Structure 1
């Protein structure tokens, strides 16, 4: 199954979402079934006349959160490719981008399409497996890494409630438990510390669902973004205080925005 989203259609869709902000919390596509079903290949024109990026959406059963791209991811991808915007204007020789909690990696693929050397990261095996099969990864253009935020920066405050029913909140424990039998590191290499503070651009979209996500995201970005680098984060407002917490911590770091 496949479909194409033109730039004009994407802009009109986002304008409708901006007029009805609660729509930003939903996924763009309902075609990839929640309990299995066919994957959906989607091509998205991220700027007038191109480039066009291809994403492979998976079912909720295979990918959990991020199985399909969200309006926030679409908004971020178009911002990445805006020739008059700071992300495109800041593209220099050998510029490096990284996407955190990438899911199907629409924003990361947009960065790759305009010329960034791009790494995409997630902690869920379904997304890592899906992305390793993407043509850009098979051609060696896109790097796919396993990165668990809790494992990366350490535990959050003991008073911060964590939903242990969500796979992204205990992915590192599962990886450690299964490493001896399924060669997790070989299948999905972990982002190594020799890349700390090496990326020019950090991207994330619709990755804050709980208070500890809002605490961890700024810490993770600070570890991998080089001093003077740019971050671009697009979040759907599910709970205003959680989003305020996340953006407040990002702004407090006094990074370029």
Structure 2
């Protein structure tokens, strides 16, 4: 299948590693020009260089603090200056800290709001004029399985990411006349540093070893293992592409069949 991503300009946030890097890698392999952003300059420049070497794609690495509006705007402006426009945006940011209700004060709630909800609003707001100039495009947000089945130790993520999904569903309808598609991509247990840290937390609280904790999690996945960032990235590339031209307002779950919810 030809995805139609060749020479498209795709922006991917939080892409120095993990899920973001997986999507950036997949679209680059399809011939897209890729602008990646992340907080640490050395890491994101290394990621952009790795993508260029692995795929031959044109890449741009930029410092991006998802909590800062000026940083987001600078990333979008740098992308347009280098590539001449934007065809797709991947909204992504690191997750809020783990914990339950009693663990968080007002400052923690506000920080989670800025990191997860407002970063999504600001990235979309900054990229939207450039998508409109193109006559359409695609917005894809990476959220969490917590938007379908709340996770006990991830209260902040449960709340904030559910808000992001509501935002995306609303925007999918509002932006459809402008040929801008808006979708949500949900990872299950994908083998990233974030999942490894959650396994470590779960192991500590349960008295298991990390290996035992991972084995317990894998036993609950019908596919019998954690997913890879490459598998997740290919799903993201599809939703960003012309091959998904009649898909908008949807949530695609990449979890090896683990989730039990019908909707």
Q: TM-score, normalised by structure 1?
A: 0.44
Q: TM-score, normalised by structure 2?
A: 0.43
Decide which structure has greater strand share: 1
Decide which structure has greater helix share: 2
